[in-house]
Amino acid sequence: MIDSLIRDVPDFPKPGIIFKDITPLLKDAAGLRQSIEGMAQMVDPESYDLICGIESRGFIFGTALAVHVGKGFIPIRKPGKLPWKTASESYELEYGTDTIEIHLDAADGKRILMVDDLLATGGTMAASLKLVRRVGGDPIACCFAIELGFLEGNKKLDVPCHTLKKY
């Protein structure tokens, strides 16, 4: 069912890219439920204390998964969006750099399941893993709704990666 709810959008955000749009999946209650239940089965909830999601679509899957398994949620956001003291991590993009932030007291001593909608080149998640470790967290695995396997982003990640749908 999930396959039929992921839409290909050609030439977005630039020519030659086929964007995997999860909007139809998000608006389908049964598909969204199936996605969250599938993610919940990927990693034993007893193996982690908190779920961390990356702005912005990682918030959707991460908070839904956190509620489903009875865990708390940690956001990783773009700079200047978190109201408390933060740590930041910059990382390389195809053209330039980006930066993400987390609260300093977000993960201290906790085992963390990292969640995002899509694994492409792995840069954002690799930076997120570093950031969680910097604030004292122990990332134990990553879960994604979609993985673009041909980009081999999972090779940049030093924890197990789990994906609902791999392209």
Closest by alpha carbon to 89, among 136, 129, 141, 122? Answer: 129
The candidate with the shortest Cα–Cα distance to 124, out of 78, 65, 60, is 78
Q: Is 57 a catalytic residue?
A: yes
Q: Among 57, 89, 101, 147, which one carries the catalytic annotation?
A: 57
Residue type, 76: I
Q: Using CA atoms, how far apart are residues 118 and 99, in angstroms rounded to an integer?
A: 18
Bridge partners of 50, per DSSP, are 72, 112
Which of 89, 94, 111, 152 is flagged as catalytic? 94
Burial of residue 80, with CB atoms counted within 10 A of its CB: 0-12 exposed, 13-18 middle, 19 or more buried: exposed
Q: What is the DSSP secondary-structure string of 131-160?
A: HHHHTT-EEEEEEEEEE-GGG-GGGG-SS-
94 labelled catalytic: yes
Contact predicate 122/129, CB 8 Å:
no
> Catalytic residues, which ones?
57, 94
